[in-house]
Amino acid sequence: MAGEGKKQRSNSERGKLRAPNLDGFYNRQAQKIEPGDYTFRTLLIRPEKPRPDRFLILDRALTDINWGDDGGSVLSGSMTVRRPHPDRITAVPVQRGHRIRLQLLWGGRWRPLWDMRVPEVPDVDRKSGTLSVQLSDDLSALKLNEKQWEFKKDKQHPKGWTADQITRAVCRDQRVRPGQIPQGKRKIKKLKLKGSGLEVIRKAWAMEKQRTLKRYIVRFREGRLSVIPFKRPGTLYVIKGIEKSASTSATGKGRPVTSIKATGRIKTGSKHKKVEEVVQSKPAMAKFGFSQQDRHYGRVDSRAELRDEAKRDLSEEIKVKRTANLLIPGIPFIEKGSTVKWITEEAGWHGKVGDTDQDRAIAFVVFARHTVLPTSYETEMELSQEDPYLADRERRDEERRDDKKKERKGRKPEPAAA
């Protein structure tokens, strides 16, 4: 019976909120990669040209190119190209509406890294023959095209639409190539709104989330629209001693609460019983002194739930949010959401977090920007110690708890025995 009780505790909502052991999660040694040591190829794609002349390699004319997500889902960038002879306009014929494809030599063959479009007329310096070109992926175009959308039950969809069916329908309407799209589980009986195609797709997957509690991210992958489940990536990038520059910052309360006196009410029969729990942080009290606050949590199911609520509030009080900006030799696979282990002696970025096994050195990419020059390739990124995947799991557990509370409130009492 003791073992059974232990199993129940590990499967409980409280057990799911534990921070994962990320060192254990990333315990498989992958092939070592050399930052900055990559070969790229830049292609100009001209859709108005016949097939043989549609593609033009720009590597000899390329001065620099950069790209990144800047914290959002839309990929953007810029590049500078120079005509071999300033007066020869046809040598580098980049125009508005053309596409730029960046390829990476990996595993002995050229692999597409991204496709972006030229949304504006390039700025031209006629004297030097230099063109400054802005770039953005087709997600930005999907974000601009607004119209009235309506999806409802019909002969082909008698029970309603799924999120993936709505996504593919929007892609057909907007002339966008669909990529990897998971199958939706919820039947959406009606979806009507006036807005962009991107808004419709995001709304459909938000409705799907109500069924599965899973988050989804809409991105362009290799020139195709893909819907990606929000989950912890399987690769950990270890950075040690290769930083070209690094800066850190931290935010937190100057004098946080170090003790919470929590009160709540537990229903026993037809009455409510008042309960109290005191939650403290001894390390925080040693640093900041004793500072207690009374907090009322209303109705709770048990003392354990009251204590957990107070612990979460106390952890928010004493939490320090640390971020870092790194400039390193380039790694093209790093993007928003990537996991990085930055091995450094910087205060707050080494050692364990409290009594858990999570290492402070493990952080998460908030945004990344890549810059390729003729003689170098660099990646600039912002790291945060705040785990977005754990926060998403806590949110889902909170929603599950709320659903269970609603079920308990709506449950009819069983009839008394005769």
Q: For residue 395, what is the enclosing H or E element?
A: helix 388-410
Say whether both 306 and 380 belong to one domain. Answer: no
Same-domain pairing of 54 and 124: yes
162: CATH: 3.55.50
Q: Please name which of 262, 212, 202 lies closest in space to residue 403, comparing C-alpha atoms.
A: 212
In this structure, the answer to whether residues 264 and 339 fall within a common structural domain is no
DSSP class of 392: H
For residue 406, the model assigns a pLDDT of 66
372 shares a domain with 240: yes
* Nearest alpha carbon to residue 191 among 208, 214, 172: 208
pLDDT at res. 16: 43
Tell whether 400 is covered by a domain. no
The 8-class DSSP code of residue 355 comes to T
Give the end of a domain, one of 136, 157, 176.
Answer: 136
Q: Is residue 398 one of the residues assigned to a domain? A: no
The residue out of 136, 165, 186 marking a domain boundary is 136
Residue 416 resides in a domain? no
3-state helix, strand, coil in the chain (%, to 5): 25, 35, 40
Q: Is 26 within the bounds of a domain?
A: no
299 and 158 within one domain: no
Residue 395 lies in a domain: no
Judgement on whether residues 199 and 336 belong to the same structural domain of the protein:
no
Its domain, for residue 281, covers 253-319
CATH code for the domain of 386: 2.30.300.10
Residue 401 lies in a domain: no
pLDDT for 5 equals 38
209-229 burial: b if 16+ Cβ within 10 Å, else e: beebeebbebbbeebbbbbbe
β-strands 76-82, 224-229 pairing: unpaired
Over its C-alpha atoms, the chain yields an Rg (Å, rounded) of: 27
Does residue 372 lie in a domain region? yes
- Given this model, what pLDDT does residue 358 score? 55
Last residue of a domain, one of 136, 168, 203: 136
Do residues 75 and 213 both lie within one domain? no
- Spell out a b/e string for 124-149, using b for 16 or more CB atoms within 10 Å of the CB, else e: beeeebbbebbbbbbbbbbbeeeeeb
- 246 and 222 share a domain? no
What DSSP character marks residue 240? -
Answer for the pair 176, 138: CB distance below 8 angstroms, yes or no: yes
Name residue 369's beta-bridge partners: 68, 380
Distance, in Å, from the CA atom of 137 to the CA atom of 218, rounded to the nearest integer, reads 12
β partners of residue 262: 277, 295
| Cβ contact 102:113 at 8 Å | yes
Looking at the structure, tell me whether residues 152 and 121 fall in a common domain.
Answer: no
Statement to judge: residues 303 and 341 lie in one domain: no
Query: Where residue 55 sits, what CATH number does that domain have?
Result: 2.40.10
Centre a 10 Å sphere on the Cβ of residue 29 and count the other Cβ atoms it contains: 6
* Enclosing H/E stretch for 250: strand 245-251
Residue 367, in any domain of the structure: yes
What is the token pair recorded at 189?
């009986």
Q: How many domains does the chain divide into?
A: 4
Amino acid at 216: Y
Same-domain pairing of 222 and 282: no
> 412 — phi, psi (to 5°)?
-80, 140
Per-residue pLDDT of the chain (418 residues; tens, 9 = 90+): 334 433 333 444 444 455 667 767 776 666 677 888 899 999 999 999 998 889 999 999 999 999 998 666 788 999 999 998 877 877 889 999 999 999 999 989 999 999 999 999 999 998 889 999 999 988 888 888 889 999 999 989 999 999 999 999 999 999 888 999 999 999 999 999 999 999 999 999 989 988 788 888 898 877 789 998 888 888 889 898 999 999 999 887 777 888 888 898 888 777 788 889 898 888 888 888 888 889 888 888 888 888 888 888 887 787 788 899 999 999 999 999 899 999 888 888 876 655 554 567 889 999 999 999 988 999 999 999 888 887 777 766 666 666 666 666 665 444 444 3
Same domain flag for 313 and 363? no
- 2: three-class secondary structure by DSSP: helix
